[in-house]
């Protein structure tokens, strides 16, 4: 059984992941598309959506280093 604080953190991560997924689908974007637009490795995008790991934006090895776009700019 998880400690109440750990449960709260996990629940918040899941809620955040669900919001990201909903916005991505609403914008008709794939996880790969988000990765390419943000420079964040696709595996990190997946972990955010599934709440399976700490979420630290890192540049993708296949994308050039650049600043991360604000979320609102990703779904326009």
Structural domain contains residue 69: no
Structural domain contains residue 36: yes
Say what percent of the chain tops pLDDT 70: 68
Structural domain contains residue 27: yes
Domain count, the chain: 1
Structural domain contains residue 15: yes
Residue 35 near residue 41, CB atoms below 8 Å: yes
pTM of the model: 0.59
Q: Which domain holds residue 48?
A: 1-52
pLDDT higher than 80, residue 74: no
pLDDT tens-place string over residues 3-18: 888 889 889 988 998 9
- As a whole number, mean pLDDT of residues 52-65 equals 53
Q: Which pLDDT does position 63 carry in this prediction?
A: 47
**How far apart (Å, rounded) are the C-alpha atoms in residues 20 and 56?**
15
Q: Which pLDDT does position 68 carry in this prediction?
A: 59
Structural domain contains residue 64: no
Structural domain contains residue 5: yes
């Amino acid at each position: 059984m998880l400690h109440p604080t750990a449960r709260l953190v996990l629940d918040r991560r899941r809620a955040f992941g669900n919001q990201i997924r909903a916005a991505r689908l609403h914008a008709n974007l794939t996880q790969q598309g988000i990765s390419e637009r943000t420079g964040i490795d696709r595996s990190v995008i997946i972990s955010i959506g599934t709440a399976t790991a700490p979420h630290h934006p890192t540049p993708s090895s296949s994308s050039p280093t650049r600043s991360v776009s604000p979320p609102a700019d990703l779904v326009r």
